[in-house]
Structure 1
Amino acid sequence: MCISDKEEEVETTSTTSTLTSNTIKEEEEEDDELYLKDIQYQESKHLIIDSHCHIQEDQEMISMVENQSTYPMHCSWLMGTTVEDWDRVDRYADKMGDRALRCYGIHPWFAYQYHPPKELIDQKDNDGQYRIDDKWYIELEKRLIKYPNAMVGELGIDKVTKVKATGKNDLDGQWEVLKRQFKIAVDHNRLLSLHCVQLQGKLLDYFISLPLDQFPKKIALHTFSGKPAMVRSLLKLKDKGTRLYFGISFINLSSSKVLKLIEAIPDDRLLLESDQNTPEYAESSIYKVLVAISKAKNWSIKVSILNTQKNAIAFQNN
C-alpha cells in the first residue's frame, strides 16, 4: 500500500520526535550521573545533611542501609506526610540511627483525609467514609514525646492541590490542619518543615498575626518559592525572622530565577534539600542543587556542602 505525502510526513515527524526524545533521555541520564564524576563532591558527600526528603517511601531500599557505612550522606531528615507514613519514617529511622531525623506531619495534599470539606463529611468513596479525624494529632504528640529530637513536618498550605472527590482546593481544611500542627510544635518546642505553594503572602500574614509565644522556635521553609523581596520581608519580621531558614531543592531548579533567589537568601539561612523519595534520586538531586548554590554564592561544591551542613546543625540547635 502506498503511503500518501501527508502520511509520510507524519511518519517522518514521529521518527524524528522519537530520536529527539531518546537523545534528551540520554542527556538527562548522563546529567543525572555527573555527581559520580565530581571528585570534590565524592570526597565531601559524607558531610551532607539532606534537610528534606521522603526516602522512607522506598521500603525496598531499606536493605541498602542495613550497613550504615553504605549510606552516602551524613544525615537525612525524613518527612512524614500522613499517619501511615509516620510508620515508614520510624522503620527507616530505626535502621539509620543518628543518620536520620524523624519528622512527623500532615502534608496539605492529604489534609482532607483528616479534615474533609464540609460537603464530603459522612459521604463514602473507595477510601471509606469522610469524617473529621480527632485522633491524628494525639498520635503526633505521642511520637514527639517518644522521640525528643523529632520535628513536625511536612505540613503546609497549597493553593494548587485539589481534593479528588470534589475537584476543588480546600484551603479551609488545610489551614485547620496546619494551625493544629503549629500549636503542637509550640507546645512541644519543636522545629517545623513547612510547605507553601502560591500562598507566600498569606503565610506572611499568618506569621505576623501570631503572638511570639505561639510562634515555633524555628521554621524551615521547604523548597521556598517566593521572590527575593519575600525573603527580605520574612527576615524583617520582628523576633521571628531570625527563626526562619530557606530550603532549596531540585524543584526550585525549574525556575530561571533560582540563582537570584539563592543569592537573596543569607548565607547562614540556606538549607540543602533533595525532596526525593529514593536514596539514589536524593543523591543526584542534591548534587544538582549544590551546583546551583555554588554558582549563586560563588562557592565551591565542598564549601556549599560545609555551609549548608553548618546551617542545618544551627537550625537544629537552640
Structure 2
Amino acid sequence: MGTRASDQSLLSHIDRLLCDERFTQYYRISGYHPWFAHWIAIEPATSKEEHYRSLFLGGSPKPESIDALDKLLTCLPEPISLQSVLSEVRQNLIDFPNAMLGEVGIDRAARIPFMPPSPPPYVEDDGKRELSPFTIPQSHQMAIFEAQLELAVDLKRNVSVHSVKSQQATGELLARMKTKHGSAWNAISIDLHSCGFSAQSWLEIEKKHANVYLSLSTVINSRSPAHRDLIAACAPHRILAESDYHAIRYLPQQTWDMVRTIAEVKKWRIEDEWTYTDQDTNVEQWGVVKRLEENWKRFQIADHIPVKRKRDRRQLELDTDESDSEF
C-alpha cells in the first residue's frame, strides 16, 4: 500500500523481488493518502512557506495560529506539484498492470503532527505525537482525490478509498464520477476501506453504485457498535474483510476476527473444512469464507452491470398514458 512519495520506489522494489505465484496479483496498491495531501501543491507556489501558509492560515490568522505554523514549518517537506504526483502514479500503474490505486480519499478529522515524516525503513508509531491545530482543507483533499480517481478510470484500475467524517463529500464525488464517466466508471471497483459510514449512508451508496464495495476491519470499525448495523445492512455480495493493520504479524488474526463478526451478524456458517467443487453454485449453502472469496474475485474482475433506476409509480402512469394517446 503506497501512501506518499517515499513509498512508491519501495513498492516497485518489492514487486520485482516477490512477483511470483506465491503472491496475489493485487497486493500492490499505489497512490497518495489524504493524510499527506498538504505535501502536494495544486497551484505553483513561490516558496514552501507560501504554500503551507495559503493552506492553513487563510485571510486573517490569529497570532497563535501563526506561531503554530512557524513551529510546524520546520517539520514539513518541500511541496511537490500535483502534476508530478499524477505523472508518478500513472507511470507506476502502467509499469504494474495489476496494481490498484490507493489509498486515496478524504479525511476531515486528521490533524498535522509536529514531527517530520519518518524516512524508510519506517518504525512503528508509539502514538506519542504532538498534534498541531491544523487539518487539511477539504477542497484541497478533494481536488487531489478526484484527480487520482480520474487516473483509475482512465487506466481501468480498482481503487481503495479512505473516507473519514466525509460521508456526504465522498458520496457526492462518487456521483459526479458516475455521471461523468458512465460505463467507464462501472468498469472499475471501488472499496470503501475500513468504512465508517452509517448504515443509511451505505445503503444510499449501494443503491446508486453497482461497483462500490464495503470493507471492514476490527481495529477500526469495532470501535463503534454501529459497525454491526453496517454489516447487517450491506448486501451479501458487496461485503469484504480486511485487517487495516500496519504490522504484518497481526494481519491474519485481525482479518479473521472481522470474518467471524461478519459470519455472526449475517448468520453465515464458518467452514471447518474446504469441500467446495465447481458444482457448488448454491450461494445459500456457502459459508462465510467462500462468500468473501467470491466477493473479492468479483471485485477484482470489475466490469459491473449498472444499477437500474426504479421509476416511481406516478411516472409509470404518465408514460402509460402517453403511450396510449392518439396523435
Q: Is 1:174 the equivalent of 2:141?
A: yes
- Distance (whole Å) between structure 1 residues aligned to residue 197 and residue 79 of structure 2: 34
Q: Once the 2 structures are TM-superposed, how far is the Cα of residue 259 of structure 1 from its aligned partner? A: 1.6
Contact 1:272–1:308 (CA under 8 A) maintained in structure 2: yes
Judging changes above 3 Å, is the alpha-carbon distance between structure 1 residues 149 and 130 closer, same or farther for their aligned structure 2 residues? closer
- Distance (whole Å) between structure 1 residues aligned to residue 39 and residue 144 of structure 2: 10
Equivalent position of 1:103 in the other structure: 29
Contact 1:80–1:153 (CA under 8 A) maintained in structure 2: yes
Q: Once the 2 structures are TM-superposed, how far is the Cα of residue 204 of structure 1 from its aligned partner? A: 1.2
What amino acid does structure 1 have at the position aligned with 2:291? Answer: N
**Equivalent pairs: percent with the same residue?**
25
Counterparts of 1:99-178 in structure 2, within 5 Å, are 99-100=23-24, 101-115=27-41, 120-121=50-51, 125-130=74-79, 132-164=81-113, 167-169=133-135, 170-178=137-145
Equivalent position of 2:211 in the other structure: 243
For 1:245, what is the secondary structure of its paired residue? strand
TM-score (norm 2): 0.67
Contact 2:192–2:214 (CA under 8 A) maintained in structure 1: yes
Equivalent position of 2:275 in the other structure: none
Judging changes above 3 Å, is the alpha-carbon distance between structure 1 residues 120 and 247 closer, same or farther for their aligned structure 2 residues? farther
- Return the structure number with greater relative CO, CA threshold 8 A, min gap 6: 1
Structure 1 window deviating more from structure 2 (177-186 vs 114-123): it is 114-123
Judging changes above 3 Å, is the alpha-carbon distance between structure 1 residues 164 and 254 closer, same or farther for their aligned structure 2 residues? closer
- Distance (whole Å) between structure 2 residues aligned to residue 134 and residue 164 of structure 1: 26
Q: Is 1:84 the equivalent of 2:6?
A: yes
For 1:276, what is the secondary structure of its paired residue? coil
Deviations 1:150-200 (CA, angstroms, capped at 9, x unpaired): 110000000101234763222222112101101111111111110000111
Contact 2:162–2:192 (CA under 8 A) maintained in structure 1: yes
Q: Once the 2 structures are TM-superposed, how far is the Cα of residue 137 of structure 1 from its aligned partner? A: 1.2
- Distance (whole Å) between structure 2 residues aligned to residue 259 and residue 204 of structure 1: 21
Equivalent position of 2:176 in the other structure: 209
Which blocks of at least 5 consecutive residues in structure 2 are unaligned? 54-72, 115-131, 272-286, 303-327
Q: Once the 2 structures are TM-superposed, how far is the Cα of residue 128 of structure 1 from its aligned partner? A: 3.7
Equivalent position of 2:224 in the other structure: 255
Equivalent position of 1:228 in the other structure: 199
Judging changes above 3 Å, is the alpha-carbon distance between structure 1 residues 284 and 131 closer, same or farther for their aligned structure 2 residues? same
Q: Once the 2 structures are TM-superposed, how far is the Cα of residue 273 of structure 1 from its aligned partner? A: 0.8
Q: Is 1:189 the equivalent of 2:156?
A: yes
- Distance (whole Å) between structure 1 residues aligned to residue 109 and residue 28 of structure 2: 27
Q: Once the 2 structures are TM-superposed, how far is the Cα of residue 122 of structure 1 from its aligned partner? A: 7.1
- Distance (whole Å) between structure 2 residues aligned to residue 278 and residue 88 of structure 1: 17
Equivalent position of 2:238 in the other structure: 269
Which blocks of at least 5 consecutive residues in structure 1 are unaligned? 1-78
- Distance (whole Å) between structure 2 residues aligned to residue 129 and residue 88 of structure 1: 20
Q: Once the 2 structures are TM-superposed, how far is the Cα of residue 90 of structure 1 from its aligned partner? A: 3.0
- Distance (whole Å) between structure 1 residues aligned to residue 20 and residue 102 of structure 2: 19
Equivalent position of 1:76 in the other structure: none
Write out the 4+ residue segments of structure 1 that deviate beyond 6 Å after TM superposition. 116-119
What amino acid does structure 1 have at the position aligned with 2:104? Answer: L
TM-score (norm 1): 0.69
What amino acid does structure 1 have at the position aligned with 2:11? Answer: V
Q: Is 1:314 the equivalent of 2:298?
A: yes
Identify the structure with the greater helix proportion. Answer: 1
Judging changes above 3 Å, is the alpha-carbon distance between structure 1 residues 284 and 96 closer, same or farther for their aligned structure 2 residues? farther
Q: Once the 2 structures are TM-superposed, how far is the Cα of residue 141 of structure 1 from its aligned partner? A: 0.8
